[in-house]
């Protein structure tokens, strides 16, 4: 798989290890590491797992070892070839990292997300015209995820720049689902950092194309209601929340867009409760969040982005929507405080 070598090189460098040092720790020669990184050789599964252990990558490298040895040999011979399989592999790799993040943290997966995002952009540049749209769509997916990792780490300028690139890629891909996802990431960023009117506009743009999957439009509509409630537009927020509920009734959960595995009936119910918090409907919000959380799959309940909201409604203090406090917004550029003083480590999941 073409991404293995590039990912290994990036992770090795970020770990501060030379090729000889890494080779010694995994009991191979330095030329072997060099061939792995250049794509001239693919590792066996045991070596990939050992590299994961040494680099502390949570199994990410092992997941990149292809099951099809013939395809691995072809990709080693022709690293410049971009086909549909490579695009699908890029997307599935990003989804695996998202699932890995659920069990760990965004900080742990950010280097691997950065590597995947970089490879996706390179692939889009190398793709033939007939595959340009899906390839640039995969680049949008990678940039959006990387931008969100920057945001969670408090790197707000980097997050804004990366998410803006993601939106541009999504526009070029002409894929409504891609555009909805990237615009939603931007919307949540604007909202959490204290710009509810800008956030409402972002979510409005995200849900505008009726070709987007109903699950995505239901989420964006509910989040637009949340943003408008924070902006004081109570009547319009009420209307949009009802519309989000109607859209949720039309969702086919067996046919969700790639990379949206957490979109479940329970999760959307929980998100409706989040919007109700912004409206000041505390009792109803508690009920919706608790009911939604209970309906989510067990593995989703253990993820930090889900536990966060249960922490909100079970705290002794009155529940509050998770926004940066007013005195922490806009003090350093457009967004909040710098990374060295970041205030949240949990994902206000888009």
Picking from 157, 153, 216, 156, the residue whose alpha carbon sits closest to that of residue 183 is: 216
pLDDT interval class at 111 (50, 70, 90): confident
H helices of the chain, where? 3-14, 19-25, 30-38, 45-55, 69-77, 84-102, 106-126, 132-152, 156-173, 176-192, 196-207, 214-230, 234-248, 265-279, 282-295, 298-301, 304-314
The pLDDT value given to residue 348 = 39
What pLDDT, on a 0 to 100 scale, did the predictor assign at position 38? Answer: 87
Percent of the chain with pLDDT over 90: 43
Is pLDDT of 56 > 60? yes
pLDDT value at residue 316 = 62
Q: Which pLDDT band, with edges at 50, 70 and 90, does 201 fall under?
A: very high
What's the pLDDT tens digit per position in 73-84?
545 555 556 788
Q: What is the pLDDT of residues 79-104, one digit of tens each?
A: 556 788 888 888 888 888 888 788 77
Among the ranges given (13-27, 58-72, 276-290), the one the predictor scored with the smallest mean pLDDT: 58-72
User: pLDDT at position 81, please?
Assistant: 67
What residue ranges define each of the domains in the chain, with the CATH number in brackets? 1-53 (1.10.260.40), 80-174 (no CATH), 176-333 (1.25.40)
CB 253 within 8 A of CB 263: yes
- Which is more confident, 219 or 80? 219
Tell me, what's the pLDDT at 39? 81
Q: Are 246 and 253 in contact (CB under 8 A)?
A: no
Contact 131, 82 (CB under 8 A): yes
Q: Tell me what percent of the residues of the chain surpass a pLDDT of 70.
A: 85
Using CA atoms, how far apart are residues 71 and 53, in angstroms rounded to an integer?
26
At residue 318, the pLDDT reads 61
- The answer, yes or no, to whether residue 328 has pLDDT greater than 60, is no
Q: What is the mean pLDDT of residues 68-74?
A: 52
> Cβ contacts of residue 201 below 8 Å, gap of 6+?
none
Average pLDDT of the residues in 262-275 = 93
Please determine, for residue 326, whether its predicted confidence score (pLDDT) is greater than 70: no
């Amino acid at each position: 798989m073409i991404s293995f070598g590039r990912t290994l090189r990036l992770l090795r460098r970020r770990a501060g290890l030379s090729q000889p040092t890494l080779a010694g720790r995994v009991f191979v020669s330095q030329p072997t590491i060099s061939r792995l990184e250049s794509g001239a050789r693919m590792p066996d599964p045991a070596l990939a797992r050992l590299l994961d252990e040494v680099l502390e990558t949570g199994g990410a490298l092992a997941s990149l070892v292809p099951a099809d040895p013939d395809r691995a040999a072809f990709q080693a011979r022709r690293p410049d070839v971009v086909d549909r399989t490579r695009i699908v592999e890029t997307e599935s790799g990003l989804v695996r990292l998202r699932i890995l993040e659920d069990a760990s943290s965004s900080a742990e997966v950010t280097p691997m997300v950065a590597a995947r995002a970089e490879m996706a952009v390179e692939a889009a540049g190398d793709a033939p015209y007939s595959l340009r749209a899906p390839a640039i769509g995969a680049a949008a997916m990678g940039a959006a995820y990387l931008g969100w990792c920057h945001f969670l780490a408090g790197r707000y300028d980097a997050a804004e720049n990366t998410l803006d690139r993601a939106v541009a890629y999504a526009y070029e891909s002409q894929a409504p689902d891609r555009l909805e996802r990237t615009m939603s990431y931007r919307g949540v960023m604007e909202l959490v950092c204290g710009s509810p009117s800008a956030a409402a506009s972002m979510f409005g743009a995200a849900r505008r194309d009726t070709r987007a999957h109903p699950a995505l439009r239901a989420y964006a509509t509910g989040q637009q209601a949340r943003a408008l409630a924070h902006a004081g537009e109570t009547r319009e927020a009420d209307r949009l929340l009802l519309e989000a509920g109607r859209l949720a009734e039309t969702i086919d959960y067996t046919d969700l867009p790639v990379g949206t595995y957490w979109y479940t009936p329970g999760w959307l119910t929980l998100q409706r409760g989040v919007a109700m918090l912004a409206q000041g409907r505390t009792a109803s919000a508690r009920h919706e969040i608790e009911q939604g959380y209970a309906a989510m799959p067990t593995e989703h309940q253990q993820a930090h982005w889900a536990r966060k909201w249960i922490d909100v409604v079970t705290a002794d203090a009155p529940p509050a929507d998770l926004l940066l406090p007013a005195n922490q917004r806009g003090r350093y550029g457009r967004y909040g405080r710098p990374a060295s003083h970041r205030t949240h480590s949990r994902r206000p999941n888009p």
